Amino acid sequence: MSARSVTVALDDRTVLRGADLDVGAGEWVTIIGPNGAGKSTLLRAVGGLLPFTGSIELFGTPITGLRRRERARLVATVPQQPTVPPGIAVLDYVLLGRTPYIPTLGRESRSDLEVVHGVLERLDLTGFAPRPLERLSGGERQRVFLARALAQGATLLLLDEPTAALDIGHQQEVLELVDELRRDRGLTVLTTMHDLSVAGEYADRLVLLAGGRIAAAGKPAEVLTEENLATHYGARVRVIPGEHGPLVVPVRS
């Protein structure tokens, strides 16, 4: 995935200005930044869900040149707050991920169902298949959202704050799962994240977005510096080197 000078205007406001971003195959890149920085917007642009200027290429093809269904087979998005249709069962929800393979007026084939059952099994969700999605816990739901994205069979996974609603244990569970899947299936992962330490632990590279511009990018230790966080978050923190990445601890002055 490669983005060049991507600019997005929403309601006549420029939300994203000239963002450049490269994500290599199999890499995990996490976008961080204060609230309203434009993280979700960048992810939506990469998913082809927003009009933008500049260029975004997926595996060498401009996304604007892809048909909807082709694009949906390459990129799968889990939005920050996915819509849960009332009454839908987990199986039917995950089956929605097969939409780019099912003819518009057709119905799912046996192979679509096989893919879905495979994904459910992989994510330990088989027992949940007939249950209404709205009655699952936050962690279980997040796994179901992930399952729908995996059912799309896409190689680029866009996850918008996948752990925002989860407690610390479930955060780790979901992120470990994403990391395993990335290795098993050769996925490329682009996420946004709130918790900076967690972001640094799991990502190969971080991109710091502030005010719609990319303020810093690189290895977690290069981006998560006390100075960067003070400038762009207005936060006082100590950054402590850790095993997998720097640990960010807020402190009072």
Partner 1 sequence: MKLRWLIAGLAAVAVAMVAGLALGPLRLPPVAVALELLHLHSGLTPREAAVVTELRLPRVVLALLVGATLALAGGCYQGVFRNPLADPYLLGVAAGAGLGATVAIAFTSKGGAAVPPAAFAGALVAVVLTYLLGAAGTRYRTPATLILAGVAVTSFLTAVQTYLQQRNAETIREVYSWLFGRLGTAGWHDVLLLLPYAAVSTAVIVAHGRSLDVLAVGDEEAASLGANPKRTRYILIVAASLATAAAVAVSGLIAFVGIIVPHTVRLLAGTSYRAILPLSALFGGAFLALADLAARLVLAPAEVPIGVVTALLGAPFFIVVMRTVRRGSV
Ligand X SMILES: Nc1ncnc2c1ncn2[C@@H]1O[C@H](COP(=O)(O)OP(=O)(O)O)[C@@H](O)[C@H]1O
Residues that bind ligand X (CB under 6 A): 10-11, 13, 15, 33, 35-41
3-state SS, residue 6:
strand
65, 85, 218, 250: which one binds partner 1 (CB under 8 A) = 85
The residue with its CB nearest to Mg ion is 40
- The CB-based long-range contact list for 73-76 (8 Å cut-off, 24+ gap) reads 73/100, 73/101, 73/152, 73/153, 73/154, 74/154, 74/155, 74/156, 75/46, 75/47, 75/48, 75/154, 75/156, 75/157, 75/158, 76/148, 76/149, 76/150, 76/152, 76/154, 76/156, 76/157, 76/158
Rank residues 11 and 184 by Cβ distance to ligand X and give the closer one: 11
Under rule CB under 8 A, residue 7 binds partner 1: no
Least distance (Å) from ligand X to the CB of residue 64? 20
Number of chain residues interacting with partner 1 (CB under 8 A): 31
Q: Say how many C-beta atoms besides its own lie within 10 A of residue 228's C-beta.
A: 20
Phi, psi of 21 (to 5 degrees): -155, 130
Number of chain residues interacting with Mg ion (CB under 5 A): 1
18, 26, 34, 82: which one binds partner 1 (CB under 8 A) = 82
Under rule CB under 8 A, residue 49 binds partner 1: yes
15, 16, 37, 75: which one binds partner 1 (CB under 8 A) = 75
1, 63, 76, 157: which one binds partner 1 (CB under 8 A) = 76
Segment near partner 1 (CB under 8 A), from 18-26, 94-102, 118-126, 175-183?
A: 94-102
Name which of 32, 15, 20, 18 is nearest 246 in CA terms. Answer: 32
Least distance (Å) from partner 1 to the CB of residue 60? 20
Under rule CB under 8 A, residue 87 binds partner 1: yes
Residues 30-59 contacting Mg ion, CB under 5 A: 40
Integer CA distances (angstroms), 71 to 63, 64, 80, in order: 7, 9, 20
Q: Please report the DSSP string for 74-120 in residue order.
A: HEEEE-SS----TT-BHHHHHHGGGGGGS-TTS---HHHHHHHHHHH
Residues that bind Mg ion (CB under 5 A): 40
- Positions in the binding site for partner 1 (CB under 8 A): 44, 47-49, 68-69, 71-73, 75-77, 79, 82-83, 85-88, 92, 96-97, 99-100, 102, 104-107, 134, 152
